[in-house]
Amino acid sequence: MNDEYPLTPQQISNYQRDGYIQLNDVFTGEDLAAFRDAVEAGVKEDTKNLDPNRVKGSYEQIFIQCVNLWHRYPKVKPFVLSPKLGRIAARLMGNSVRIWHDHALFKEPHTGAKTPWHQDTPYWPHQQKMHQLTIWVALRDATIQNGCMSFIPGTHRMFDIEPVNLGDPQDLYAVAPQTKGIKPVTCELKAGSVTIHNGMTFHYAGPNRSDGLREAIAIIYMPDGTTYSGTGHQTTDPLKLSVGQRLDQPIFPLVAN
């Protein structure tokens, strides 16, 4: 789990050009099994009191989302804070990186709705928005049938687009007409492989039409030195930060230089 992933200069420049990249076999064998078991156990515990027959709102139909599992589950923590993932993030970003947060994203069989096209960084209370990135780890195979990720290359350079409301999305071309004509790329992943996207890159995942859960955990990194913008977010609201304050509190640990 702590070995160095052999990221090549070509992969780094492809990521910087396209705003996303796929890396295969980042976790394999016992490490993959331990990571998956730990996240599955955390999601099970977090959701144990939910009524399976409840009426789900439109956001909840997209996926079961459990934020910051690493805070609550000691077996998840070494994976989320792993130097291996941190080094990948730091090399792609070209900066020291802090954890912004993690979230397990489990799309339920048959009922899991699509994840609409969106950019991430506009949702976050950060004053700098260019370099945040997400490592999205497939804990089981992610396929077109069960809702793997797609990306629109180059859209990480498109700023000033209104954030998409995931629960009530508008058509992509209404929100971002400048994406017309750019062909999306869909990335099927074997379990243990990852996609990595810049927080400004438009991405999407289809509905889960399979019989099993689509199980992924997304770990989000921000450059060391990122400062607070003052807008609301569940991770920063309890901290009572001032606008302009650095996000360097213990819940945002530095994981790689």
Ligand X SMILES: O=C(O)CCC(=O)C(=O)O
Q: What residues make contact with ligand X under the rule CB under 6 A? A: 63, 105, 115, 120, 134, 136, 203, 205, 216, 218
Provide the 3-class DSSP secondary structure of residue 89.
Answer: helix
CA atoms within 13 A on the CB side of 108: 13
Q: How far is the CB of 86 from ligand X (least distance, A)?
A: 17
Whichever of 86 and 199 has its CB closer to ligand X, that residue is 199
Q: Shortest CA distance to 200 belongs to which of 238, 171, 170, 160? A: 160
Q: CA angle, corner 107, sides to 163 and 157, nearest 5?
A: 30
Whichever of 153 and 245 has its CB closer to ligand X, that residue is 153
Helix axes 9-18, 83-93, angle to 10 degrees: 60
Q: How far is the CB of 167 from ligand X (least distance, A)?
A: 13
Whichever of 73 and 117 has its CB closer to ligand X, that residue is 117
Residue 191 backbone class (left: φ over 0; alpha: ψ -120 to 50; beta: rest) = beta
Q: How far is the CB of 242 from ligand X (least distance, A)?
A: 27
Whichever of 38 and 105 has its CB closer to ligand X, that residue is 105
Q: How far is the CB of 42 from ligand X (least distance, A)?
A: 16
Q: How far is the CB of 244 from ligand X (least distance, A)?
A: 26
Whichever of 105 and 255 has its CB closer to ligand X, that residue is 105
- CA 47 to chain centroid: 20
**Rounded distance between C-alpha atoms, residue 115 and residue 128, angstroms:** 25
